[in-house]
Structure 1
């Protein structure tokens, strides 16, 4: 069977992107404080981008004869992004720090996808992983800039 490791990374991304959408949604709902007026609508953009990534990743998995996770149980059982109850007592900076941490995890997973798809000769998946890693690193840079920090992107 072709592309077995690539399929595993793609499916891990399906679970993790679904969880990341929830994390961003939680940020969107529970944010308060300075920056709310610009950050609240920005979270809608982040969710749209994550939904697009999930769709492309899932469709690629199907195209190479894989089967993407497609139930809430599968997403919950397979994600590696932590789940936590929404809280009103987090500052905006704390919420953005959580997003940075989780986006860093996704960037690392995209890198793993780049490595395994290259090894398995799947140029199309490699291209998808590379593009989404670039997009994710841009998100990290922007969030870090909002926090007054350097991007700290490991290239």
Structure 2
């Protein structure tokens, strides 16, 4: 199987792990008039992130690769940053929107690699996640006006 494809999906595992942690941080520390809405949305997203991480890691194993399994590896491979702890509610949504846009671009790159490798299963999996990411990104952009 394509080593490049496994590396691409592993970057997704790493990034979604950082995203998962960031979402928990935001869930715990969000304050302001939109607290209830954002608190609930961040929880929805970190639950989804947990499923994505597991699905991607298991796919890597099925492709006879090794998914990243430590926070150190995840921070090194991730293409998004951790939460700073200084974000207000609007900054949180802006940061997550930026993160989701990056994730969507990387998912598209992974889909292209999967198609090159003639791996429909991985391409379909990545496409399904991309569809969900696009919806979340749309919602955050609508929130920001």
The TM tier, using the shorter chain, reads over 0.9
SS in structure 2 opposite 1:145? helix
Which residue is equivalent to 1:100?
Answer: 97
Give the match for residue 144 of structure 2. 147
Q: Superposed, which structure 2 residues align to 1:1-80 within 5 Å?
A: 2-80=1-79
Match of 1:113 among 104, 110, 113: 110
Q: Is the 8 A contact 1:14 1:68 kept in 2?
A: yes
> Which residue matches 1:153?
none
Q: Which moved more, 1:133-142 or 1:76-85?
A: 76-85
Gaps of 5+ in 2: none
Match of 2:127 in 1: 130
Aligned to 1:152: none
Cα displacement string for residues 114-152 of structure 1 (whole angstroms, at most 9, x for unaligned residues) = 10000111110000011000100000001111111xxxx
Moved over 2 A (4+): none
1:117–1:126 contact (8 Å) kept in structure 2: yes
Deviations, residues 39-96 of structure 1 (Å, cap 9, x unaligned): 1122111000011111100000000101000011111222121134312xx3321110
What's the C-alpha RMSD, in Å, of the aligned pairs?
1.1
Aligned length: 145
